[in-house]
Structure 1
Amino acid sequence: MGGQRPIEVRPGLVLEPMHPDLAAEYFAVVDRNLARLARWEPWATAPQTVSSVRVYLAWQAQACTSGTALPFVIRLDGALVGSCTARIDGVDGNAEIGYWIDADAEGAGVAAESIGTLVAHVLAGGDIGRIQARTAVDNTRSRALLERLGFEFEGVQRSAQRFADRRVDMAVYARIAAG
């Protein structure tokens, strides 16, 4: 699955493979959303820099090359507005998705269309039989999004996500490939 090309979700909405050259742009969007993201993502509670983002993007690009991830930034009318990634476990034939979206892009279907396209792309390869997503139990927007995309609620992992000052229960969702 390595060596991805951009995927057009619809005109003006594109999934672009992550690469280190996006570091400054990616950092700017993350930095603008950091307080909001820190509620749901432990990584957002740590200091972010262009350099640390470049390292992260290089790591994701390498994971793509090795076939263990499909990492994309989400572009809306050319602007970077978020990311969506599938981590691939080729041995078990499973994947796990993660995503975030810029506050200014929320509520316009950008996340649903992008993640739906990523899921379809992962399942189209035929090697993945199960896609999982985990989200904080009280992240109602994310849970509703997963349910709209055909993910089924499987249960709660108690205290499964560690933040610096607390542990959070995580809702587990899965979508099983047809056939």
Structure 2
Amino acid sequence: MTSGLATRTFDTKRFTMRALVRSDTAALYGTLSDEAQCRYMSQPHFTSPEALADWLTDSEWPGRTWVAIDKTDGTLAGRFVAFPGRDAGVLELGYITIAERQGHGVATECVTALVDHLFSEGDYRRLYAEIDAENEASVRLIERLGFTREAYLRQHEVTHKGLCDLVIYGLLRDEWTGAVK
């Protein structure tokens, strides 16, 4: 848990955002076991459902995880996380949409709602995202939501695909309008 806060359920227009449970692994495995889908993650794709389940439900991880459940058919559409930054009042965001749902506005709708939720529930002054510089879709999303590019870190991180540049985007509480550009 982050700052002692529970992962409370909330709704968007099309989705219910609820806490991840271990059984959600089955719906996430198809995407997170695909090497191409995981190319921008800091770790490689998963090769077993058990390994993914252990990673998703690691009790030592200090963040919170929501999954987006489609209100019309009950399917899982994506995973969204918030975890503490180095300083109090700062959270890092992460997200991935199920492969079949990419390009249908899931991340835009759910990240918008998550930002609203986080700023309304806690005393957070800043949210940020660290994005692989090659991940153009994620950069477009976060810019559309009003985040500001704060840094471009060259050859900053070694991942399963080698040395990567990272882009850091931040959003201050008083900059958030909730409107997608």
Q: If the length of structure 2 is used for normalisation, what is the TM-score? A: 0.83
Question: For the residues of structure 2 that align with 1:106 and 1:140, how far apart are their CA atoms?
Answer: 13
Give the number of equivalent residue pairs.
Answer: 170
Aligned pair partner of 1:4 in 1, 4, 7: 7
Aligned pair partner of 1:24 in 23, 26, 30: 26
- The structure with more helix, counted as a fraction of residues: 1
Which runs of 5 or more residues in structure 1 are unaligned? none
- Shift of the 19–106 alpha-carbon distance from structure 1 to 2, 3 Å rule, reads same
Which runs of 5 or more residues in structure 2 are unaligned? 176-181
Match of 1:72 in 2: 66
Match of 1:94 in 2: 90
Alignment of 1:42-57 (within 5 A): 42-43=42-43, 45-57=44-56
Percent identical: 23
Alignment of 1:18-167 (within 5 A): 18-31=20-33, 34-43=34-43, 45-59=44-58, 63=61, 68-76=62-70, 77-89=73-85, 91-167=87-163
- 1:49-74 Cα offsets, whole Å, 9 max, x none, are 121122123226x65xxxx4221112
Q: If the length of structure 1 is used for normalisation, what is the TM-score? A: 0.84
Shift in Å, 1:158: 1.5
Match of 2:179 in 1: none
Question: For the residues of structure 1 that align with 2:39 and 2:167, how far apart are their CA atoms?
Answer: 15
- 1:60-112 Cα offsets, whole Å, 9 max, x none, are 6x65xxxx422111223311122110102485210000111122212221100
Conserved in 1, the CA contact under 8 Å of 2:85 and 2:91?
yes
- Shift of the 111–46 alpha-carbon distance from structure 1 to 2, 3 Å rule, reads closer
Match of 2:172 in 1: 176
What secondary structure does 2:128 align onto?
A: strand
Moved segments of 4+, more than 3 Å: none
Question: For the residues of structure 2 that align with 1:39 and 1:56, how far apart are their CA atoms?
Answer: 17
Alignment root-mean-square deviation, CA = 2.2
AA in 2 matched with 1:55: D
